[in-house]
Structure formats: structure tokens, C-alpha cells
Amino acid sequence: MVSKPTDSASKPRTQPGESANDAIGTLSFKINQLKKQIQAERVVYIKEKIQRNGKKLQCHMSGVMSAISTRGSSQTEGNRKIPILSSRIDHPLCKFNGFSSVSGDKDHNNQDALSATSIKIPCIERLPPYTSWIFLDRNQRMAEDQSVVGRRRIYYDQHGSEALICSDSEEELTEPEEEKHEFSEAEDRVLWMAFEEYGLNDEVLNIVSEFVGGTSLEIQERYKSIKEKNIGRLDQPSENSGQSESTIGICPEKSLSAALDSFDNLFCRRCLIFDCRLHGCSQPLIYPSEKQTVWSDPEGDRKPCSDQCYLQVKVVKCLSEDSNSCGAEQNKRTTIMEETDGVLASSIIEEPSNQSSLPFPSDVDCHGSLNLNVPILVSVEKRKVTDQSDTTHCDPKLPPDDSQNSCKKLKTISDDVVTVNSDSRKDINLCARDVLDKAVKHNSDKLIESSSTFHSDEPDKSIGDGPKDPTNKTEFKKLSNSMEGKVDGMISLSDWKPLEKELYLKGVEMFGRNSCLIARNLLSGLKTCMEVASYMHSGGVSMPHGSIIASSSIMEDKGKFDVECTDQEIPSRSRLLRKRGKTRKFKYSWKSAGHPSIWKRIADGKNQSCKQYTPCGFVQKAAKIGLEDAIVPRVNAEVDNAHALLQDGNVTQMSVGIAGCGDGSLGEPPRRGEGQCGNMRLLLRQQQRILLAKSDVAGWGAFLKNPVNKNDYLGEYTGELISHREADKRGKIYDRANSSFLFDLNDQASISHHLHFLLSCLAYVLDAYRKGDKLKFANHSSNPNCYAKVMLVAGDHRVGIFAKEHIDASEELFYDYRYGPDQAPPWARKPEGSKRDESTAPQGRAKKHQSH
Amino acid sequence: MVAEGKSFGLGCDPVVGSLNPVKKREYRVTNRLQEGKRPLYAVVFNFIDSRYVNVFATVGGNRITVYQCFDRGVIAVLQSYVDEDKDESFYSVCWACDVDGSPLVAAGGSNGSIRVVDVGREKIYKSFVGHGGSINELRTQVLKPSLVISASKDESLRLWNVHTGICILIFAGAGGHRNEVLSVDFHPSDIYRIASCGMDNTVKIWSMKEFWPYVDKSYTWTDLPSKFPTKYVQFPVYNASVHVNYVDCNRWLGDFILSKSVDNEILLWEPKLKDQIPGEGAVDVLQKYPIPECDIWFIKFSCDFHYNVAAVGNREGKIFVWELQSSPPILNARLIHPQSKSPIRQTATSFDGSTILSCCEDGTIWRWDLVTNNSH
């Protein structure tokens, strides 16, 4: 199948002048032929399949046959009681003769008379229904009924005979249409044949799409994938090797911000999940305004975190000062050499073929054999050995100019080596420390000897090391010369990749100048404690606090730095940095990093005053920044409302001013005229008792149980958070509902005004039509006694209802829906307006859904 | 054919049987009985005991009747049972055996209770209560004829051991049917496997492999049946939406499934189970057997013992006899009688397919016999 089209594929290419019509004509003919062939094949296939199945079935049924023919046999042994049924066959109750001829119109046997002889089956009591209750979908008490997911809502216009079908979301309806076409094998064949022979162009595509399902785009994609598959089949091995190499984890050359980009973008820090639906992606990062105390360990009692801890070096230094001035350096060198040797020796063991011919395994060989083992093991020591072995490995062999290059090459190699041989290397390390202790007391010459003997003592490497010891010795001597003075540099400053540097800076930010913690928590597998320490000392950035500036300067480089932030507020919130990606759209509100701690405090029962409640303050500031960036729609409820009103027609919104703790003004201390921060009450749900009763105005109304003072918090207005798009759609439905049966249904009267709260700087609308609390029943009044305020509570926008004036107990609550001049329903204009006589079909429908 | 095949995609279309009978076989009405005035919903031959292969049972209203087919169209009434509950309307009947091989008849209907009659002793054997809705079908596991499964309006299937009277398993719940279960069938060879279908338009395949210890346990249970640890099987191993309407009858044809919906055809299709995703699977529709005027639900077809033919009645009292295992499908015969006008709820095909019985809405039983060449 593959070869055939390629033969003919050359034809159209050689004759490009061939008229398109001809080509297309033959194409459809060919496709038709192919189709017929496919169909014929299908018929044969089915036939074969059915025959095979039939044979199998026959086999089974003969087995069943033998089973059923022995039914009575078990009985014959014991009680050979012949069933009455058998005897009845010989003596039936009655017999009806068959028709003798075809005509038999009159022949009509009637069996009714027989009922006298029938045996009674006694009544049995039915089970009460509750005993047979089983878990069914419809037996669940679920909110599903209230949601309209997958359901169509139809509203009938009473006056016009118009029916409006409103599906809750268009996506649901369009989804099945957008379902991806699954290409069958036959369609693949047609595709392949057509495009291989006639090339991929529009005309061919048109014809093909007549025969093959799916959109033309899908067809093209499918063709590509088939092509890839066919190509892939030919040279599969090369593809595989390419893939295996590309699967390497993090790239240390990237910067930290780049590495964290997807995390910053997709991770919702409030919900602690990726791709949070509610808060969206690309949430701006907020850094805590309070300076977090650095995790500090009293350095005195610190124990070495590992044998590569910088504290070890200190110990060694002390020792060396006692005995010999240059002892410490020698020590260092020795350990390095030993480990290098260990590494090399073990790599030789890996490759017995090389050991006889070459004093050192050549890097190519090493690569070839060991690169297959993809390194996964991450250990603190690994890195160290890598670096050191790099240096030792290359220096003697190569001229100094090339050493840097080859080092880089070899890095991966020796990584592998180390990974593979990590076990043996650990042994070496242990022994190395012993040697180290001894070495302090010996001079440098002996030291080398002891190290090499130590290697020959190693049982693992006896084979490889035996013949090599002499060479090793000499190599090491050279090595020690060439490496003089280099060692320190290699350890401290070489190859700190940008990512590592940034991680280090973060570490300093978090842990202070504690290289143990930094190395363990942030650079594990990348750098050792000692390296971190030396990096720290080598002035590598002498800045525990300046680190932030450094990191911010990195951001500045990329043009993402928030200028305003640094300009005005550096002293108070130097860390209030915000990063934004290139195409990030600002979708949702600010999150407070201090949020969990608030909750904790609340849980502890401490009454929290606003002053301590820092999140409010800085969230406000953050919001300010967002505004000035002009990425966020301006935090202005009125503007958005007006817009939405235009779209929604009769749908009304309650417009509310955004108010944070401090009424939104930057830098202003929270207003404490009301005694307590409003959002805390919202957060703690310290609301007034609201009663639900028949309103004096229309439908249901909300009443207050206890008297409240002016500006007292009454409760939260809750509902579904829906998008603007959804709100528009629902608006149409509610609009309909309003005009058609608002007055017929007293139950619905007050809710069908369906308050929408626009949380304006978000892309969300609060809809209390289906779900909400009792406060949604409060009616409209042009002279209200309540007002609503959108507040930022722990980073979320919530709507609080407050008393506009002193309200007595059991008074009805009103707020101003801000109806447009024509939008207000009649009852809002003239309160005693309507009749409630007819009960209509929509009422039944509404009741069925139990939405209120 | 192309238009029909469109929905299946190129190269996946089924082979559709032609409605022009080949006249390979000819059937003739040889008897007709009027059994009361109430509609008869089920008629079934005894395929589980070779001694009684010509015995059949019918149910209609509150009556269960056992007949014997003799040669030359003679039908004899062997037994008749009447439920004292006049409101009972049996919808389904099946044959079963206790462990001794004594023949039993199980019937169920609108009441939701299953009546097991010991026809070997002519008395009620057991009654099973438990279903919360009427029973739409009862089937027996031929290899283990004490096992009877019931499909009910309460969206569940229940597996019973008629010998001990135990409800072993309930197939319902999270993955179960979402509307009345109308039909169920045991796999002919795989003893663990059942297929069910219903008003939720789906066909589901269930496996009781993991629950088989309970089935074994049910044979030796001596305590009260109500104390048996009845298990719920909540998830089918396979779920297919082959039809777009109520599926009111399904039968295994080897490893394939024959299923009948109310859209005038029986489909033969192969369930392709995917191991990776339990519960989901593909469908390969192989053949279509058209049945004109068969658009009301609760019309069930029957097969002979060897699954060579299937007989199905329609709304107008006609019977279509399809040769099942030929490809393309062959319509063996179209049985038409001027007086047979009432909807045929179920047919029964005899062991060798030579006799076809039909029971009708008007309470009549029709017997059609194959016209052999010898009789000419």
C-alpha cells in the first residue's frame, strides 16, 4: 500500500500542465473505486467474522446440549420421582388440534374454560418501597436539579406565541458538533491514496472531504499524522534516539524566572491547584509586605550537613594551622585526587575493553558507553565529584586552552560515571576521610603514595587498578602541579549557572547565610554546601538583603519590572514586586500571601484589629498598581454596570462601589469609623439575622430580626459567580421571565429581578437567581435603607450589605437596584400593582426545578 | 445503503439484510389459541432440559400456562397457574431447574415480585421480592439453570438463585442503567458475563467474575435468604450506545450481541472492550436485520437453540424470520396471516427452529410450523 502510491505519485509531478479537471475527475473515480473496494473488503471481513463466531458458538451449544440432556439423570439415582410435568405430557389437561388446512378461519381454539383447573398462586405481600430503595441518580438529593447544565430552558411568551429556547451555555450545545472526527482505517486509506497521488491542494481536499468525514482541517492534520507514521515506520530507530536525548529535566542555563514561568502563570496560590478556574491564570505575584524573618540557626552548634559541608573545611583548617601551614591545601588536593582516581577507576571497570590499551579512558569511549544510562540520581556529592573529576581529568591530558571546553563536554560524562558508580564512590569518600586525617601528619610525598595504595586495596577495583598504579602516580604528580592555585577557583566560582545563582539568591533570602540549608533545600544535586559557602565568601555577591535588588534587576533587564513600585514605595514594600509575562492578561484579583496566617489567627480566636490585618493594606496597594498599569479594567463599578445594562436590556444590576478596608484610597489607614473592619465581619460571617417573609411590596422580602445602627453590616450577598458572557445569556432569560410571569407568580416576584452584582474589575458577575442567601430577597426601593459594597476579603471580592440608616427590628430591607427609568417592574414604581390569579404552565416548570 | 452507512463512517458500515424473502423456508399457521382476554407478553420454550424441549410457557395477566407442542399442530395444555392478585400482569417468564434437575418456571411482572413455580410438583416453589419496579425480563443461565436474572423497571438487574431463593447480586448503581432495564441475557459460554439493555438507550455488559464466590456461596446457604450478603455490582465492564432509542431486547450471538431498538431493526454488533479504560468501549456494527413496523417498545425476538434463526413479530402481527449467521443476512420467511393483526409481543422459536410461536396483545397464541418438502 505504501509503495504503490509512491510509484504513481511521480506522475502528476512530471506532468504539471495536466488540466486540473482531468486530475480531479480521475481522483473521484479512483476514490470511488477505492471505496467500493473497501466496502467489498468490509463485507468479506464481516462474513469471515460471523462465520468464525458461528463456529465458536456451535461448539459452545453442543456443550450446552450435553448439559441439558442430563438434567433428569441425577435424580434417577436417589428418589426417582418423575416430575408431574412429564406425566402431564402424556395426560394433558386438554388438547387443541391443529388446523388441518391452510384456510382455517373458523378454527379458533378457546382456552378460557380451562381457568377452573388452574392452580392458584397465593398472594404475596409486596415489599414496602423503602426497602427496595437503591442508589439511583434520581434518588439523590443533589443541587443538580437547580443547575441547568445540559438542560434546555424554554420560556413561552404568553402574549406572542413565541417560544424562546435558552440553553444555559452555548458551549454545551455546540460541543457535540465540534467533536473530533475519528478517522477509520478506510478513511485513512482514501486520504493517503488521494493526497499521495494528487498532492495536497484545495481541490483534492474538497473531493476527499466528500468521501471522508471530518472538516478539511482535520483531514489535513490526519494526513500529516499518517505521513509521519509511515515515515516513522521506516526510520524508527533514529527517531527514538533523538527522543531519549531530549528528555532532560530542568535546564540550568535558563533563568529562575523563566523556569518558574509556568508555575507563576498557572498555579493558583489561593486554591493551591494548577489551572484554577475561579481565579484564572497569570495571577500577579504579591510578595509579603512584612519582612519575613530569616530562618537562622545559631552557627555555633551547627553540625556539618554532610562530608562536603563547609564546616568540615573549617575543621580541617584548624587542624592544619596546628601542624603545617600548607597542610590544608594539600589535604584538599589529596581528597580531590583520590576521588578522581576512584571515579576514573570505576569508569574503567565499566569498560574493561579499554583498560589495557589506554591509561585513561578516552572521553569518547566514556561517552559512548555511559551516556545510555540517563542520569537521574541526584545527590549532593555528585556534583562535587563531577567538578573535581572534570578538572583532574582534563588537565593532564589536554593543553590548558582546551581544558575549559572539554570540561564542559566531560561534565555530562562524568555525571554518568558518578551516577553509575555512586556506591563505590561512597566507600571512597569514607576512606578518603580517614586518609585525610592521616595526611595532616604526613608530608605531601607520602600522601600521594598512601592514596594510591588505598586504591589498590579497594576490592572492587583490583583488576583495573593493578596495572595502572604507576601511571596514576605520575599522573597525579603532574596533576598536583598543574592544579596548584586552581583548585580554589574551580570549587568556588566556576560554572555557576544563572539558575543556580538565582536559586542561591533565593536561598539567601530564605535562610540567610546558611550554606548548609541553601545547598540542601535549593541546590541539592547542583552545588555542595562547600561550594555554596565559598561562593558566598568569594564576595560572590555579598548581599543577604541586596539579593532582592539583584533579582529585581534581573527582572528589569527583561523589561517587566514594575517601576511604580520601586519609585514610590521602596521603603515599605521593597518586596512588593510583581512580575508579568509577555502575554499575560490580568484576569482576577490580588491574592494575599498572608492569607493563611490570617485564617490561623482567626482560628486562634484572637480578635483582629485592622491595623494588624496587613493584607487589606497591601492588597489595596497592589490593586492600585494594577490600575495604573492599565491592564486591569478600571476598578469602577459604575462603568461596567452601565456597559452591562446596555447589553442586558431589562436586566438590572445593582451598582456598587468597590471598597476595601480603607475605602480604596492608597496609603490611607483603614477607616475605623464603624468600629470594625468591614471585611473581617464578612470573613467571620458576623451577620445579622435575616428573616424571610411575604413582602409588603412584592413577593418575598427580607426582614431584619434585630435592630441595627447605621453602617452596620447585615450580611453577605451571595450567588453564583458567572462570567459576563454567561450573564448576558442569563440576562436574556431573566428578561423573558420578567415580562412574562413576574406577576403571575407571587413566589417569583421578588427574585426575578435577579440581582446581578458586577464584580467589576473581575470578569465575573454575581447571580443570585438560582443560588444565594436570604438577602437576595430584599426588594428594590428608590429610598432604600441598605446599601451594598464590594469588598476585598482575603483577596476575594465579596459583596456586603450594610445598613444605610438605623433599622428597627422586623423592618423590611430594601436597596436600590438602580433601575433605569423604564426598567423597573411596575411594582417598583407603584407598589400595590398586581394580581396573582392565574397559575400558568411556566409556574409548573419553575416549581419542578425547585429553584426557589 | 450509502446514506445509512454514513453514520458509521467509511469502511465501517454494516451489511444490511434485504427484506425480499429468499423463500428458503415456508411456515404455515397450524394452530391458534385464545388464552383469555388479557395481552400475552411472553412465550418461551424450555431450552434447559432436553426432556421438555417441546414444552413452552406463556404468561399474560395474572396467569402462567404451560403447554406442549405435539406434531401436526396439536397444542396441549399441561398446567395453568393463576396469581391470586388480580392486578398482577406478568411480563416475562423463563424456565429454570433446581439442583436436582426438577423443572421450574419463573415469572415476573408489574408487581415486581418473581414467582417461581415448581412445575414438577405443580405448586408454588418460591417468591422473590426485592425489585422496586415491574420486571421486564427473566433469563436463565443455561449452564447453571438455578441462576435466574431479572431486569426491572427500578433500573437494576438482580441475580437470583432459585434453588435457595437468594438474591446474590444487584447490578445497579453508579455505572448502572439510568432508566428501566428492558432486557438481559447470559453469555452462552462465558458464565460470568451478562448483557443488559434498556430505556437509557445503552447496552451494558457486566462481569460477575469478581463476585463469583458469592454465587457459589448461594448454593450452600442455609441461613435465611435475607441474611445473605447480597452484593452490588455498580460498574459494567462495557457500556455502549449503539441505538438512539429504547433498546428492548438483546441476546448474545456468540461473542457478538444482537440488540433490537424501536427503530425497526435488529443490529448485530461486536463489542470491543478496551482494557485500559473499563466501562468504555467501541462498537463495530456488523449487520442489520430490518423489521418493518416495529417501532413500539416491548417487542422481543427469539432464537432457536443453535442461534440459526431469529423470529420477531411486529406491531401489525407479522413475523420476520431472519437467518442470523449468514452474511449478508437472509430473510428466511415473512409470516403473514390475515387475522394476525395485533402486536406480537414475543415469539418463541423451537429447539430446531421448525416451530415458531407468537403471543399477541389480543391474548392469542399462534403456532407456525415449517412446511417441509415431504408434506407436499
DSSP A47-106: HHHHHHHHHHHHHHHHHHHHHHTTTTHHHHHS--PPPHHHHHHHS-SEEEPPPSSS--SS
pLDDT band at B347 (very low <50, low <70, confident <90, very high): very high
Count of C-beta atoms within a 10 Å radius of residue A25: 12
Q: Compare CB distances from B79 to A88, A99, A104 and report the shortest one's residue.
A: A88
Q: Hey, what's the cell of B98? A: 433446581
Q: Flag whether B245 is in a domain.
A: yes
Q: Above pLDDT 90, what percent of chain A?
A: 1
Query: How many angstroms separate the CA of residue B288 from the nearest CA in chain A?
Result: 12
Q: Which residues pair with B55 in a beta bridge?
A: B68
Q: Provide the pLDDT for residue A390.
A: 42
Q: Provide the pLDDT for residue B304.
A: 93
Q: Provide the pLDDT for residue B212.
A: 94
Query: How many angstroms separate the CA of residue B255 from the nearest CA in chain A?
Result: 7
Is the Cβ pair A134, B154 closer than 8 Å? yes
Query: B280-317 pLDDT, tens per residue?
Result: 678 889 999 999 998 899 999 999 999 999 999 999 99
Is the Cβ pair B325, A121 closer than 8 Å? no
Query: How many angstroms separate the CA of residue A603 from the nearest CA in chain B?
Result: 38
Chain B environment of A96 (Cβ under 8 Å): 31, 33, 74-77
Is the Cβ pair B76, A89 closer than 8 Å? yes
d(C-alpha A551, C-alpha A540), whole Å: 14
Do A310 and A529 meet the contact criterion of CB atoms below 8 Å apart?
A: yes
Q: Provide the pLDDT for residue A241.
A: 39
Query: How many angstroms separate the CA of residue A111 from the nearest CA in chain B?
Result: 5
DSSP type of residue A631: -
Burial (Cβ within 10 Å: 0-12, 13-18, ≥19) of residue A15: exposed
Q: Is the model's pLDDT at A359 over the cut of 70?
A: no
Q: Hey, what's the cell of A147? A: 443547575
Q: Provide the pLDDT for residue B95.
A: 94
Look at the alpha carbons of A661, A665, A669, A675 in this order and tell me if their dihedral is positive or negative.
negative
- Residue with the larger pLDDT of the pair A565 and B247: B247
Residues sharing a CB contact under 8 Å with residue A833, sequence separation 6 or more, in sequence order: A743, A826, A827
- Residue with the larger pLDDT of the pair B187 and A260: B187
d(C-alpha B204, C-alpha B151), whole Å: 12
Q: Hey, what's the cell of A536? A: 558566598
Average pLDDT for residues A337-355, to the nearest whole number?
Answer: 42
Burial (Cβ within 10 Å: 0-12, 13-18, ≥19) of residue A210: exposed
Chain A environment of B254 (Cβ under 8 Å): 53-54, 56-57, 60
Query: How many angstroms separate the CA of residue B261 from the nearest CA in chain A?
Result: 21
Chain B environment of A61 (Cβ under 8 Å): 188, 305-307
Q: Provide the pLDDT for residue B13.
A: 81
Q: Is the model's pLDDT at A639 over the cut of 50?
A: no
Nearest Cα residue in chain A from B55: A89
Q: Compare CB distances from B287 to A46, A98, A124 and report the shortest one's residue.
A: A46
Is the Cβ pair B10, A187 closer than 8 Å? yes
Sheet containing B181-186: which strands, arranged edge to edge? B181-186, B193-198, B203-207, B238-240
d(C-alpha A573, C-alpha A328), whole Å: 46
Q: Provide the pLDDT for residue A140.
A: 60
pLDDT band at A314 (very low <50, low <70, confident <90, very high): low
Is the Cβ pair A42, B12 closer than 8 Å? yes
Q: Flag whether B284 is in a domain.
A: yes
Q: If you count DSSP H runs as helices and E runs as strands, how many of each does chain A have, helices first?
A: 35, 19
Query: A27-56 pLDDT, tens per residue?
Result: 888 888 888 888 888 899 999 999 999 999
pTM of the model: 0.51
Q: Compare CB distances from A121 to B50, B52, B83 and report the shortest one's residue.
A: B83
Tell me the ipTM for this assembly: 0.89
Count Cβ–Cβ pairs < 8 Å, chain A vs chain B: 268
Average pLDDT of the residues of chain A: 57
Q: Is the model's pLDDT at B18 over the cut of 80?
A: yes
Q: Which of A62-71, A610-619, A767-776, B208-217 has the highest mean pLDDT?
A: B208-217
Q: Flag whether B132 is in a domain.
A: yes
Q: Provide the pLDDT for residue A636.
A: 39
Q: Provide the pLDDT for residue A472.
A: 44
Do B116 and B162 meet the contact criterion of CB atoms below 8 Å apart?
A: yes
Q: Flag whether B303 is in a domain.
A: yes
Q: Which of A1, A43, A59, A71 to mutate to test the interface with B (most CBs of B within 10 A)?
A: A71
Look at the alpha carbons of A218, A221, A225, A230 in this order and tell me if their dihedral is positive or negative.
positive
Q: Flag whether B265 is in a domain.
A: yes
Query: A254-293 pLDDT, tens per residue?
Result: 667 777 777 777 777 777 777 776 776 666 666 655 555 5
Q: Provide the pLDDT for residue B178.
A: 87
Q: Which of B10, B50, B284 to mutate to test the interface with A (most CBs of A within 10 A)?
A: B10
CA distances from B354 to A278, B169, B344, B371 (A): 68, 37, 19, 8
Q: At B32, which CATH number?
A: 2.130.10.10
Q: Provide the pLDDT for residue A391.
A: 40
- Residue with the larger pLDDT of the pair A199 and B195: B195
Q: Provide the pLDDT for residue A315.
A: 54
Chain A environment of B97 (Cβ under 8 Å): 71
Q: Which of A7-11, A156-160, A216-220, A614-618 has the highest mean pLDDT?
A: A216-220
Q: Flag whether B225 is in a domain.
A: no
C-alpha Rg value of chain B to the nearest Å: 20
Chain A environment of B305 (Cβ under 8 Å): 61, 65
Average pLDDT for residues A477-504, to the nearest whole number?
Answer: 57
Nearest CA to A110 among B37, B147, B347, B307? B37
Range of the domain at B165: 15-220+230-370
Average pLDDT for residues B246-273, to the nearest whole number?
Answer: 92
Query: How many angstroms separate the CA of residue B214 from the nearest CA in chain A?
Result: 20
Q: Flag whether B5 is in a domain.
A: no
Query: A161-213 pLDDT, tens per residue?
Result: 555 554 444 444 444 444 566 777 777 787 788 877 777 777 777 777 777 77
Q: Which residues pair with B204 in a beta bridge?
A: B196, B239
- Residue with the larger pLDDT of the pair B238 and A761: B238
d(C-alpha A781, C-alpha A804), whole Å: 13
Say how many domains are in chain B.
1
Do B40 and A65 meet the contact criterion of CB atoms below 8 Å apart?
A: no
Query: How many angstroms separate the CA of residue B295 from the nearest CA in chain A?
Result: 27
Is the Cβ pair B189, A117 closer than 8 Å? no
Q: Provide the pLDDT for residue B213.
A: 94
pLDDT band at B349 (very low <50, low <70, confident <90, very high): very high
Q: Flag whether B3 is in a domain.
A: no
Instruction: Render B170-204 in DSSP notation, one character per residue.
Output: EE-STTS-SS-EEEEEE-SS-TTEEEEEETTS-EE
DSSP type of residue A131: G
Average pLDDT for residues B257-262, to the nearest whole number?
Answer: 92
Is the Cβ pair A118, B74 closer than 8 Å? no
- Residue with the larger pLDDT of the pair B180 and A753: B180
Is B18 within 8 Å of chain A by CB? no
pLDDT band at A67 (very low <50, low <70, confident <90, very high): confident
SS3 label, residue A652: coil
